[in-house]
Structure 1
């Protein structure tokens, strides 16, 4: 192990080790909250395994578990260690959780062997870190509104109309917007998800409540409407349970079209509006139609099928449609879908 005093001579800033937390309770929380980015360099097979499996038994691993920032791993190890199936499984698990890996590179290794496992070069690592730090402020001072989850429309005291939306995609978009410096408001129907940190979170139940919450929080630069809002609701809601023999007909009424009502009103429309669509047939044509009729900047569309059953899943397969082109993407994590969308939003403000 390198002596702490030697490292201190080489860098500017503070150095912490396991002993540091003895006199500073919750140091692992403080360090991650005060940082803009978390970089693990070099990332050993041991630390990758610990983080992948939720171990937190020292300052480094505890800080990783506690982090609410983007995490970068710079792996360095023997080629066989890197290619080991267990290590590969751990790497994949972390990537699914949003951790990004830089390297390893191919070349001479410290053990004397040659192969994939070499730490990426200093200049490459430095440039990537600088790029991420710049990205963490790309939407600074921008206000962003995100809707997520389903809405529930009560029929009586025990029944309701709803859909399969889990809210995962919307919550991840809110998180990624927060990570690039935006001031985020997340309005969500009922889910089992923990809202991302450092955002304003508003929970609603019905389409009517979501419509009201959106209108109250519309002083925003960007609006991303991922929520699966119920199209209809019972015209009359019973306070008692309707007996099944009397449950013969439910009279429905249309719910407000939140996206359309906001986008077509120039006095309240945000600068950049993203709509979401879930389609089973003619999904690109339907997305193009929705883009025009609801005057959005982008439509993100899912083609719902047995191969792409996105509800409740950590994965999604989408196409992003704008006025000029259609970008189709393969199956990826909802985290990566969110990152792609956020990059498109950033590009809009950098034109």
Structure 2
């Protein structure tokens, strides 16, 4: 699975750097093209010549050593990579990345890349447990960095504990497993809704809600990365369209209802993450309403229940709903799952810190109609999206859809 993949291997200054030579060799044997970046500290343990001989590529050491005057090396390398591996990843490089420091070839290239980055930490057990290191690791996890956890055992410093760089075979197995998952939705047609709707009162006022669209956009991004053909129906948000996603913008609940239903028959998976208004003003006006003394009453009417409509008419589609609740969350979520004929529902408690609208993290519970229950603790919305789609893909396969 690694054949033809372009891998940048970042080697930093730890005794485990010697294992990076074996890792380079095994990656090359798998058919990958490997380019190595070394820090100054790494060169105290192993030489650039070793990596050059094994990878058959020049080793990058200095940001200002431009090997081709037509290219900026760290930008070119950042764009070239299919993915990055940091092995070993020391406390120092982890701290640099987490705090936005780019002061050498490795850190500047990492800052510029859009590729997935895998960190394989290696350090003394007490260093690994230090609050600063753990905080930095959590920060990177929230940004979508991936980790190959250190092993436990005898460390070079004489301690026994967690902090040993994983063996090259385990690192490669992790990469291959990750690449396999990236194909789990290959060719699947997925329809996703995201964001709020806006229901007009007059030319300057409307009813809406606090949805930022971040969760739905994260699902769309990850689904595309997993090989799916993604159509994203979005309410008004200030988010960029994820790569390889077909985005359709709508404003009102009625517009979202129309667009989603028009794409429903051709979709295999529908994930309705949008926070659609349940009510809209019964009457609207074309001129700004002027302030008057006393109270103002606005009569509201129900909007179409998009999820109920999809549940009533689905045939072979796999339908996922969302339930944002403030109390009795599992009870309400289970009721919604059954009432609306869903295959799965994602439930989150808006009262919990780090969950719900507007924030970059979430904490959810996934229930399926086959009575499976998965609880995903607080993590970045992209990580939550990965976990949701992983379980959806598995459940989809088990149902034979």
* Category of TM-score, reference length = shorter chain: 0.7 to 0.9
| Pick aligned residue for 1:283 from 320, 329, 353 | 329
Q: 2:147 & 2:100 partners in 1: Cα distance?
A: 18
Please say which structure displays the higher CA radius of gyration. 2
Counterpart of 2:270 (choices 192, 212, 223) is 223
- 1:294 is the counterpart of 2:331: no
Q: For the structure 1 residues 210 and 12, does the alpha-carbon distance in structure 2 shift closer, same or farther, using more than 3 Å as the test?
A: farther
Shift of 1:27: 5.7
The separation in 1 between residues aligned to 2:267 and 2:48, in whole angstroms, is 47
Most deviating of 14-23 and 75-84: 14-23
The 10-residue stretch of structure 1 (98-107 or 26-35) with the greater mean CA deviation from structure 2: 26-35
Alignment check: 8 A CA contact 1:68 1:197 kept: no
Give the distance between the partners of 2:180 and 2:57, measured in 1 at CA. Answer: 20
- What is the CA deviation profile of residues 281-311 of structure 1, one whole-angstrom value per residue up to 9, with x for unaligned ones? 4433332332233221101122333667622
Residue 177 of structure 1, aligned match among 216, 223, 226: 223
Q: Trace 1:92-131 onto structure 2 (pairs within 5 A).
A: 92-131=138-177
Whole-Å Cα distance in 2 between the matches of residues 26 and 151 of structure 1?
44
Partner of 1:347 in structure 2? 394
Q: Does structure 1 residue 86 correspond to structure 2 residue 132?
A: yes
Structure 2 CA distance, aligned partners of 1:264 and 1:83?
Answer: 52
SS of residue matched to 1:166: coil
Q: Report the Cα distance in structure 2 between the residues aligned to 1:302 and 1:175, rounded to whole angstroms.
A: 20
The equivalences for 1:120-199 within 5 A come to 120-199=166-245
Q: CA deviation at 1:31?
A: 4.9
Which stretch has the larger CA shift, 256-265 or 9-18?
A: 9-18
**Which residue of 256, 271, 279 corresponds with 2:304?**
256
Aligned counterparts of 1:32 and 1:295: Cα–Cα separation in 2: 46
Contact 2:318 2:396 in 1 (8 A): no
Distance 1:185 1:50, change over 3 A: farther
Match 1:271 to one of 285, 310, 317:
317
Q: Say if 2:284 is the partner of 1:237.
A: yes
Deviations 1:146-169 (A, max 9, x none): 111111111112211111112221
What's the TM-score once normalised by structure 2's chain length? 0.77
Taking the aligned partners of 2:130 and 2:184, their CA distance within structure 1 comes to 38
Q: CA RMSD in A?
A: 2.8
Deviation at 1:255, TM superposition (A): 1.7
**Cα 1:89–1:317 shift into 2, 3 Å:** closer
Kindly indicate whether the alpha-carbon contact (under 8 Å) linking 1:138 and 1:181 is maintained by their aligned counterparts in 2.
yes
- Relative distance call for 1:277 and 1:39 in structure 2 (3 A) is same
Matched, 1:47 2:78: no
Task: Give the corresponding residue for 1:209.
Answer: 255
